[in-house]
Structure 1
Amino acid sequence: MSTLRRTAGGLLAAMTAMTLVAGCSSDTDGSAVPAPIPASEAPDSFAQVIASSNVDAERYVYPVAEGESDHDQNWVDLFMPKGDHPDGSVPLVVLIHGGSWQSQIGADTFVTFARRLAERGLAVYNVEYRRLGSGGGYPQTFADVAAAIDFAPQIGKANPAIDMDNAVVVGHSAGGQLAMWAGTRHKLDDDEVGAKPKYRPTSVVSLAGPLDMRTAVKLGDDRIVRALGGIPEEVPERYTSVDPIQNIDPSMPTIAMVGAKDRVVPPVVSRNYVDAATKAGGTANFVLLPDTNHVTIVDPAAPAFTRVLETISRAAHNAHHD
């Protein structure tokens, strides 16, 4: 666990009552307006990044369905361009990190990513969730991501500058799968995890996501097998529920970006999804990045990262103006 998460865990646990109870007020429809943990009280490693940019940031704990939130993991960081902005004027990006659905990598790795997007005039909602090894896996990881996204309207009430009518959800690796799943939860049956969403993104950008999970398993991806608790033949209903290629919504514009040198999630896995979505009548674009692998696609020091930022920024701003 990173220094950020260790420090943040203690901070969040100490401030739970303020954030979830005393720090909330009710708006006119009776729902709670959440109070953030101020960035000034966040860990030094977090505050230093924010202090060096034209970005403000706040951390929120989101509620989970089955009981108390895990304050080390059930949180989101909201990054906003500094200054006053008219209501509904700042496009929203929901950012979901990867890491093979496992606990070794968390949302703190996307602080720079989120900051760079916010510097482009975007509100960025960076999601942390429980993973394998820290209380996650199927179904908990998926329930957490659903809960975090369903909490977004509450964040919008606390931050009226955000355009909540449109949102681009972006994910890397496992987060790419979670992002595509999050964009199509409205297609789930009522008894499936994540069903009946309270908030729906309007477009999706996958960065090296396993968007055809059955093919990925056939190609040797045992990380998916661990996350879902078996191969497709053993738990077919789980794959049917969360595999993006089995849950295409043609009305959801999607972009699948992947590195030509990606050996972790080969480009064919994204290509299959885009081909299937296009055949179904959807708007889906496949973007192959040369000289880019599974890690460098989200590495701020890599040449391809600027194109990644530009693609996300364009998608968010275009959705905002449509």
Structure 2
Amino acid sequence: MASGPVDTRTSTTTEEPEYLDEVTIHRFEYPTPGDADSEQNWAELYLPAGEQRVDSIPLVVLIHGGAWQSALGADIFEPLARDLAERGMAVYNVEYRRVGSGGGWPTTFRDVASALDHVSVVDKQFPQITTDDELVVGHSAGAQLAVWGGTRHKLDDNEVGARPVFRPTRVVSLAGPLDMVYAATHGDDRIVTALGGTPRQVPERYTMVDPIQNIDPTTPVVAVHNTGDRMVSSVNSTRYVDAVVKQGGEATAVLLPGGNHGSVVTSTAPEYPRVLDIITGASSADLDDVDEVTG
């Protein structure tokens, strides 16, 4: 594997060289409704080595998981971001507030929506990235946020995350709780904590952010899940995919044998190369063929 990227987090310039010798990283702080937290409301853009021609580098957005809680942060996706950048993609790795660090309902969801919308600002500073037909990838809680992020345009104007400025048009979900009501009523208390109540107590919140309740048949989704996942059952992915297909949409479930909840994004796990291939394929495929990508 190539050496790690050069860290340029301390400065973000408006002019980029026509050619980069190695991967570089640029940090952005994004604004949020109300007061932002500079230690958490940021995202890092990884630019691949090579020519930096305008509108030439596909963008992949990464949203990390961790049960919407503060124990895990965007740093867990640094290896994945680097590996994707080494494959020639620009990667936008998002940090956001979580339960225990100022997040929860509705802050976590507003933060992610704000981070996604900030892509339009990033594009102005780094016009070599493309932003018209891009992929978002999330793991675990981040997968819920990623799928929701791809369908925010369907929300009513008064709902959290509505009226997106930037919308990913294709999604890869990794071990995602894509049927939040099902998961919450089958023992997943992490969802109840993140949304501040059960589906019976706060049904309108689930309606706003539950992926299976916000399906857009025109947004293709590849739902990857290890069959050995005991934290978020693969039933979440198969139920979601079945619902998308029933509505005439394009989605596929890729069930990887064995593994566990975290190994699907662990660089030393046997399934990791296939996950990289799925992400790469979903990014480069024609939009109508994304649901055929299985690695």
Both structures adopt the same fold (TM-score exceeding 0.5):
yes
Name the SS for the 2:285 alignment partner. helix
Shift of 1:321: 11
* 1:70 maps to amino acid: D
* 1:65 maps to amino acid: P
Which of 233, 239, 245 is matched with 2:206 structurally? 239
1:39 matched to 2:11? The reply is no
Equivalence for 1:283: 250
Which of 64, 75, 78 is matched with 1:108 structurally? 75
Residue correspondence of structure 1 range 76-87 to structure 2 within 5 A = 76-87=43-54
Name the SS for the 1:302 alignment partner. coil
Which of 213, 216, 219 is matched with 1:252 structurally? 219
Checking the alignment, whether the CA contact within 8 Å between 2:57 and 2:90 is kept in structure 1 is yes
Name the SS for the 2:235 alignment partner. helix
Checking the alignment, whether the CA contact within 8 Å between 2:8 and 2:24 is kept in structure 1 is no
TM-score, length basis structure 1: 0.82
Checking the alignment, whether the CA contact within 8 Å between 1:117 and 1:309 is kept in structure 2 is yes
Checking the alignment, whether the CA contact within 8 Å between 1:241 and 1:247 is kept in structure 2 is yes
Which of 25, 33, 38 is matched with 1:57 structurally? 25
Whole-angstrom distance in 1 between the partners of 2:209 and 2:139 = 16
Whole-angstrom distance in 1 between the partners of 2:273 and 2:135 = 18
Equivalence for 1:153: 120
Change (3 A) 1:151 1:319: farther
Equivalence for 1:190: 157
Checking the alignment, whether the CA contact within 8 Å between 1:209 and 1:270 is kept in structure 2 is yes
Equivalenced residues, count: 274
Checking the alignment, whether the CA contact within 8 Å between 2:135 and 2:283 is kept in structure 1 is yes
* 1:300 maps to amino acid: S
* 1:61 maps to amino acid: E
Shift of 1:84: 2.5
Unaligned runs of 5+ in 1: 1-37, 43-52
Deviations 1:65-85 (A, max 9, x none): 213x21110000001112332
- The percentage of counterpart residues that share the same residue type is 57
Checking the alignment, whether the CA contact within 8 Å between 1:248 and 1:277 is kept in structure 2 is yes
Equivalence for 2:18: none
Which of 87, 90, 100 is matched with 2:57 structurally? 90
Checking the alignment, whether the CA contact within 8 Å between 1:91 and 1:320 is kept in structure 2 is no
Name the SS for the 1:118 alignment partner. helix
1:143 matched to 2:110? The reply is yes
Whole-angstrom distance in 2 between the partners of 1:195 and 1:321 = 25
TM-score, length basis structure 2: 0.90
Which of 274, 284, 289 is matched with 1:317 structurally? 284
Deviations 1:202-253 (A, max 9, x none): 1011000100011111221000000001110000000011100011000000
Whole-angstrom distance in 2 between the partners of 1:254 and 1:78 = 23
How big is the alpha-carbon RMSD for the aligned residues of Structure 1 and Structure 2?
1.6
Equivalence for 2:13: none
Equivalence for 1:34: none
Whole-angstrom distance in 1 between the partners of 2:256 and 2:22 = 29
Checking the alignment, whether the CA contact within 8 Å between 1:167 and 1:319 is kept in structure 2 is no
Equivalence for 1:212: 179
* 1:58 maps to amino acid: H
Shift of 1:319: 4.8
Higher helix share: 1
Name the SS for the 1:72 alignment partner. coil
Unaligned runs of 5+ in 2: 1-5, 11-20, 290-295
